[in-house]
Amino acid sequence: MTDDLLGRHRSVLPDWLALYYGKPLEITHGEGRHVWDSEGNRYLDFFGGILTTMTAHALPEITKAVSEQAGRIVHSSTLYLNRPMVELAERIAKLSGIPDARVFFTTSGTEANDTALLLATTYRRSNTVLAMRNSYHGRSFSSVGITGNRGWSPTSLSPLQTLYVHGGVRTRGPFAALDDYDFVAACVDDLRDLLGHTRPPAALIAEPIQGVGGFTSPPDGLYAAFREVLHERGVLWIADEVQTGWGRTGEHFWGWQAHGRSGPPDMLTFAKGIGNGMSIGGVVARAEIMNCLDSNSISTFGGTQITMAAGLANLTYLLEHDLQGNARRVGGLLIERLRAAAAQVPAVREVRGRGLMIGIELTRPGTDEADPEAASAVLEAAREGGLLIGKGGGHDTSALRVAPPLSLNVAEAEEGADILEQALRSIQ
């Protein structure tokens, strides 16, 4: 059955549409933090559809909201007043921390970042954009053009001039040996030097924690220090919160808040978890920036009623059940458990992250050389043990990505850690 579906997949879908595992699996249903495949195997899900199933699989509150909305109207477009869209926008604007905020809904994080770039370049009348090395911002023509991760950049052509900045990866690169204070100072000095050699950019776009890059991050405060330099020149700061938003880091509701000394970003983008699997993305920006476009625009499927109903129900559940606090508590236990296990495995270079956003970087023992084969082997072994995780990293996909739904409980965290420990040991 699965082999037949795989053959059909290969005959009609692009070769570059990657599938996990030597024997790809078809996930047919889920409940809570577990999913089942077409052969009846049950897995603990520590990847949540690439961080999209943020709350839980088949959560009754969201299922009910979607079902009831589907029974009324599914879609009408942004050409008509839309009560669920207005209600969700009001809540997100307030939560964003951005003053006089406006919200525009899209269908994905790629489209959200694309919109933020349109706004920034129009507002600043510049097509120069600063981005971070090892970054990932989507698969559209413009978002690929600002992606600093070679493995996800299929073309060097771009409508933008992109300049890449140091700082997104703490433990690699020319400043890795410095302590946190000196690391931040060196990155800021480098940014100042870069700005002295180029025409004024439109914006800096940065993920507070790099997602596809393997859950890497700078010391807290780096982007606040960057913001002060940028603000002197009128350059905007866009926080790409597609993966860090909605409390996943545990310590903060938004990733930018770890760098909040200089206040909120000028814009933030979001997607993935807000819809708990439904297709929602968006941009929050100050009104003067959001309203700078002087031509008509719509979003046919952005803000459609059924996805807004899911977003409202999911956000309500997330806040009422303090899933951010749960990510902090259970995520803290999980990362310490994984660090203890990894200490016995020479191939593990680093266990990093915060909350329920954890990366495990694998290298060839005794070196800093990436080991993507080991990462693939651990992925397979974890699946055999009943655990689904992800991969990423800027060094040939050699990092494992662990990002369970935020409702994960302690028993499930322990179970997943046990399986992952055995999977890591299997590569020795």
**DSSP of 50-83:** HHT--S-BT-HHHHHHHHHHHTT-S---TTS--H
Nearest C-alpha neighbor of 24 from the set 46, 45, 1? 1
User: Which residues on adjacent β-strands are paired with residue 398?
Assistant: none
Domains of the chain: residue spans and CATH: 64-288+296-320 (3.40.640.10)
The CA distance from 262 to 131, in Å, is: 19
Query: Do residues 66 and 288 lie in contact, with contact meaning Cβ atoms separated by under 8 Å?
Result: no
- 358 vs 413: CA distance, rounded Å: 12
Higher pLDDT, 3 or 192: 192
Query: What is the pTM assigned to this prediction?
Result: 0.95
**Residue entry with tokens 């049950």:** 42
Q: What is the DSSP string of 333-382?
A: HHHHHHHHHHTT-TTEEEEEEETTEEEEEEB-TTS--B-HHHHHHHHHHH
Does 396 score more than 80 pLDDT?
no
What pLDDT, in 10s, does the model give residues 130-152? 999 999 999 998 998 999 888 88
pLDDT per position as a tens digit, 149-206: 888 888 888 999 999 999 999 999 999 999 999 999 999 999 999 999 999 999 999 9
Q: pLDDT of 278-307, one tens digit each?
A: 999 999 999 999 999 999 888 999 999 999
Cα(285)–Cα(304) distance, integer angstroms: 20
Comparing C-alpha atoms, which of 355, 337, 295, 283 is closest to residue 120? Answer: 283
